[in-house]
């Protein structure tokens, strides 16, 4: 009985350096360049679109803005759920739980994201695998400035960089009220995982602006 309620196994971190959090199919042996575009206002689905260097749509984010707590679903280009991001209610650190598919079942929990500190001027997030229940040391960390759309993704509390994010200024997107930024994912790093963190970063920033935290 106990086995049925246990979290998912720890994501793959192989001796070859592959970091597969959501799945190995999202890891490439080369640098992956993504463009993430966010609409200025979206009350339904499709508020984020993730494209490759050729402009092909890889993923979309669906969710509900007007709800008691936020929920986002990262889908593939065909609309099939990859992972579900759910905000934990009454969390001082703005904790988010990320599950496989469109689940909210504890056994499908992949990882958890939260602010490193309740009060912080710069963006800093800690990411914990589902199996890391003690949370004494984070498995990944994000540092930077979401206001400037400039963040660096690290492997744990090390200086090992796994991804970078920076703002992209394109006149057509500015005129259409879209926020666009580029993401560089290092080789053998799960880009679906990185995209999920970016969506959660945006949600935490939105809460900060709405509640003046």
State the pTM of this model.
0.83
State mean pLDDT over 153-181.
76
The lowest-confidence range among 61-70, 124-133, 201-210 is 61-70
Q: With bands split at pLDDT 50, 70 and 90, how would you rate the model's confidence at 175?
A: very low
Bigger pLDDT: 93 or 194?
Answer: 194
DSSP assignment of the chain: -GGGGSPPPPPEE-TT--EESS-GGG--SS-EEEEEEEES--SSS-SEEEE-TTS-EEEEEEEESSSSS-EEEEEETTS-EEEEEEEPTT-TT--EEEEETT---GGGEEEEEEESSSS-SSEEEEEEETT--S-SS-SEEEEEETTTTEEEEEETTSS-EEEEEEE---HHHHHTTEEEEEEEE-TTB-HHHHHHHHHHHHHHHHHHHHHT-
Q: CA–CA separation, 38 vs 50, rounded Å? A: 9
Question: What per-residue confidence (pLDDT) applies to 40?
Answer: 63
State mean pLDDT over 140-165.
90
pLDDT digits (tens, 9 = 90+) for 35-52: 998 876 555 445 789 999
pLDDT digits (tens, 9 = 90+) for 81-131: 999 999 887 655 579 999 999 999 999 999 999 988 766 667 889 999 999
Extents of the domains making up the chain: 32-194
CATH of domain 32-194: 2.40.160.200
């Amino acid at each position: 009985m106990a086995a049925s309620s246990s979290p998912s196994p720890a994501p793959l971190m192989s001796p070859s350096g592959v970091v597969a959090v959501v799945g190995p199919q999202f890891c490439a042996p080369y640098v992956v360049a993504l463009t993430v575009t966010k609409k200025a206002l979206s009350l339904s689905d499709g508020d984020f679109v993730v494209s490759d260097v050729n402009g092909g749509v890889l993923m979309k984010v669906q969710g509900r803005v007007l709800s008691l707590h936020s929920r986002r679903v990262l889908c593939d280009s065909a609309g099939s759920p990859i992972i579900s991001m759910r905000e934990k209610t009454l969390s001082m650190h703005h904790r988010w739980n990320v599950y496989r598919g469109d689940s909210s079942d504890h056994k499908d929990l992949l990882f958890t994201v939260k602010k490193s500190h309740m009060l912080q001027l710069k963006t800093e997030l800690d990411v914990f695998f589902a199996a890391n229940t003690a949370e004494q040391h984070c498995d990944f960390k994000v540092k930077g400035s979401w206001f400037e759309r400039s963040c660096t993704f690290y492997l744990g509390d090390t200086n090992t960089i796994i991804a970078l994010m920076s703002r992209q200024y394109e006149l057509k997107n500015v005129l259409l009220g879209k926020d666009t930024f580029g993401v560089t994912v290092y080789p053998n790093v799960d880009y679906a995982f990185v995209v999920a963190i970016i969506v959660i970063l945006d949600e935490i920033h939105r809460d900060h602006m709405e509640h003046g935290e």
